[in-house]
Structure 1
């Protein structure tokens, strides 16, 4: 599992940094509303993240060709969108903070939650695992 955490950290870090950069440039410099900038960043992140995580981070841990795995990945990605949208709304809207505040939660809160969901639900079964994807694996 340690190797998987390292791969996820590298891949997730790159995807998250890309998304945070897209959000920041659109919200701070292009004049796009923060929530719209967050949605644009999400669209790039979900496509990039699926390819990178399914091929490398969770390689050998579940079947990425399984339509149920793909569906689960996109459902978890919606959780990340909801979390980041909540943080953007709360920090830039309700608290009227600067547009960079949500970047901190995008980098340090959402990835931890998404990793747990991806590991335990999306890519839960290995090639020899009897796990149906609904119960956590023992490792």
Structure 2
């Protein structure tokens, strides 16, 4: 139980950094209408996926089970789940046919909900 707690703390820090990378890419693209929110989401996802894999495989889940090479395909699959969730948040909260909210609204569930789902999947499947 104690190991899981500290792993969750490490995941929170590393995931927070990956989410910050996402937000640093997504925010200016969406806020200044350089592109659509969905294209900004894709750009943010690509940056967050790369940084997240390095941080999680080398630090968050270090010594938990699977080595980095064998976990890469599974990590990519979980990152697609993360991408799908984030795409859903962007669509639901910013699309004119849905809630038509501000560009920053999706950042709330992206920072609070998506990480919980990815932690569970990473701990139980990717790095098990």
TM-score by length of 1: 0.85
> Any residues of structure 2 matched to 1:1-139 within 5 Å, and which?
1-67=4-70, 69-93=71-95, 94-124=98-128
Cα deviation code 1:84-134 (max 9, x no counterpart): 00010010001111101000011001000000000000001xxxxxxxxxx
Contact 1:84 1:102 in 2 (8 A): yes
Deviation for aligned residue 1:26: 0.9
Cα distance in 2 between the residues matched to 1:62 and 1:39: 30
Q: Mark the structure with the bigger radius of gyration.
A: 1
In structure 2, C-alpha distance between the alignment counterparts of 1:44 and 1:9, rounded to whole Å: 17
Give the CA deviation at 1:49: 0.5
The answer on whether the counterparts of 1:20 and 1:107 sit within 8 Å (CA) in structure 2 is no
Aligned partners of 2:6, 2:64: CA distance in 1, in Å?
12
Give me the whole-angstrom Cα distance separating, in 2, the residues matched to 1:42 and 1:7. 20
Q: Which runs of 5+ in 1 are unaligned?
A: 125-139
Quote the Cα distance in structure 2 between the aligned partners of 1:30 and 1:98.
Answer: 12
Q: Which has the higher helix share?
A: 2
